[in-house]
Amino acid sequence: MVLVHAEGPRPRKAAARRIGAVVAVAAALAACSTTSIPTVPTQPAVVIPPGPPVAVDIAALPGKWGLASYRDEKDRARTEAEAKRACGNPYVIAAGPQGGVMMHLPDQAQPTEVFVKVNGEGRSFIGPRGAPGMIQDRVVMYFQGGVLVADWLDPSARERYGTMLFVRC
Amino acid sequence: MNFRTITRMFGRPAGFALAAVLGLALTAPTGVEAKQRKELAIQDQPGYVPTPQEEMLPPQYRPQPVYFRTNEAPGTIVIHTDERFLYLVQDGGRAIRYGIGVGRDGFQWQGLQKVSRKQEWPDWRPPPEMIQRQPYLPRFMAGGPGNPMGARALYLGDTIYRIHGTNQPQTIGYAVSSGCFRLVNRDVIDLFNRVPVGTKVVILQSAKL
């Protein structure tokens, strides 16, 4: 007992080395024997929330906006008032170098150039270059009188941040 | 076994006593544990909705009846910052004890307040330093599941501090906030339903050398 205890660390290291070797060989064999085609991680399907067609003039976007969010329609009027109050710490949209505007994608600390994209139903999306309705896009639900309401298409971002409401400062 | 089950099994007074004994015998935190639970480096997670499993606290932080020696009248809330417990004083030298998260070092305080307002699903405003790090965050988030303020808030006097819920159950027992006291949503709803506006709140903090 005492001897085993005293010599404990060395056998454990040796055993760990042996186990490591076995795992490596097993992994190599598994890699050799596999016949499945490598899979590409699938992105969640994009669900576009229902809403009316909304036209957005991208030239109207640059500037300072009060930004607030809500989840329940009953909170919208209150949220709009709070967004106006938030003009003291505004969200700033700058014009982009390629004709778009600089806005943040979900959870990105740095802004990306985004564009207004319109689908066949007349729905407007704000997002990076590409087809309208990509997962990085926001779908515009309302744009009138200096108020922009947009939902993230990324379900995780939508769940976490709710519906984003911008009020022109 | 929660308090309701115990009182259902043994009747209210006996259940209270038994649960208190069990609570005291089985769930009193040790000094070592309190030290381990000192501070937790974690950012707010706006919009995160915890699972019921995540909301299952370690036994000592679940609401439970305990014996509690105090001169405060029944109905008073006594917060022991260092213990990470909030006590709602009951008759007969007893209290209901809730596990809480408290202010980080430098954000802890003591005093005497009253519940000045109660709010279901309170709104949340991310602090400016958080907006600086995450400029895409809304400056105001209307209350709802996933809101860092949780399901209920009890406003303390005219201070900026509140007793509120949280969407981060893992922070209970830690010094993590900017001076507010947080409970998991289920517990803050329970407390909210037990106390009226005007409730006396005593915030205690042990002297440190």
Mean per-residue pLDDT for B194-204?
97
B137 Cβ under 8 Å from any chain A Cβ: yes
Nearest to B168 by CA among B198, B194, B148: B148
More confident site: B2 or A153:
A153
- Whole-model pTM? 0.67
| B3 φ, ψ (degrees, to nearest 5) | -60, -40
Question: What is the domain extent for residue B110?
Answer: 6-204
Q: Which residue has the tokens 């600390």?
A: A109
A68 Cβ under 8 Å from any chain B Cβ: yes
Q: Which of B57, B180, B195, B201 is catalytic?
A: B180
Count the domains in chain B.
Answer: 1
How close, in Å, is residue B66 to chain A by CA atoms?
A: 37
More confident site: A80 or B209:
A80
- Looking at the domain assignment, is residue B136 inside a domain? yes
Alpha helices of chain A — where are they, by DSSP H?
2-6, 9-33, 76-85, 155-161
B-chain CB neighbours of A86 within 8 Å are: 138-140
- Looking at the domain assignment, is residue B94 inside a domain? yes
DSSP string, A13-29: HHHHHHHHHHHHHHHHH
A122 Cβ under 8 Å from any chain B Cβ: no
- Note whether ipTM > 0.85 here: no
Closest chain A CA to residue B48 = A160
Please confirm, yes or no, whether B180 is among the known catalytic residues: yes
Are B139 and A89 inside 8 Å of each other by CB?
yes
pLDDT digits over A45-75, tens only?
788 999 999 999 999 999 999 999 998 899 9
A66 Cβ under 8 Å from any chain B Cβ: yes
- Looking at the domain assignment, is residue B105 inside a domain? yes
Q: Is the pLDDT of residue B27 over 60?
A: no
More confident site: B118 or A46:
B118
Please confirm, yes or no, whether B80 is among the known catalytic residues: no
Are A108 and B49 inside 8 Å of each other by CB?
no
- Looking at the domain assignment, is residue B209 inside a domain? no
Are A67 and B139 inside 8 Å of each other by CB?
yes
pLDDT at B176 (0 to 100): 82
pLDDT at B33 (0 to 100): 53
How close, in Å, is residue A109 to chain B by CA atoms?
A: 6
From CA B194, how far away is CA B74, in angstroms rounded?
Answer: 12
Mean per-residue pLDDT for B189-199?
98
pLDDT at B4 (0 to 100): 47
CATH of the domain at B139: 2.40.440.10
- Looking at the domain assignment, is residue B1 inside a domain? no
- Looking at the domain assignment, is residue B181 inside a domain? yes
pLDDT-based confidence at residue B145 (cuts at 50, 70, 90)? confident
Are B143 and A75 inside 8 Å of each other by CB?
yes
Asked if residues A135 and A43 have their Cβ atoms less than 8 Å apart, the reply is: yes
pLDDT at B103 (0 to 100): 85
- Looking at the domain assignment, is residue B113 inside a domain? yes
pLDDT at A143 (0 to 100): 97
pLDDT at B128 (0 to 100): 82
From CA B127, how far away is CA B131, in angstroms rounded?
Answer: 7
- Local mean pLDDT, 10-residue blocks, chain A (169 residues): 35 49 42 39 72 95 97 93 95 96 92 96 96 96 97 89 95
Strand partners, A166: A67, A148
As a residue count, chain B comes to: 209
Asked if residues B112 and B96 have their Cβ atoms less than 8 Å apart, the reply is: no
pLDDT at B208 (0 to 100): 58
pLDDT at A4 (0 to 100): 32
Q: Classify B167 as helix, strand or coil.
A: coil
Q: Which residue has the tokens 């399901």?
A: B151
Mean pLDDT of chain B: 82
- Looking at the domain assignment, is residue B45 inside a domain? yes
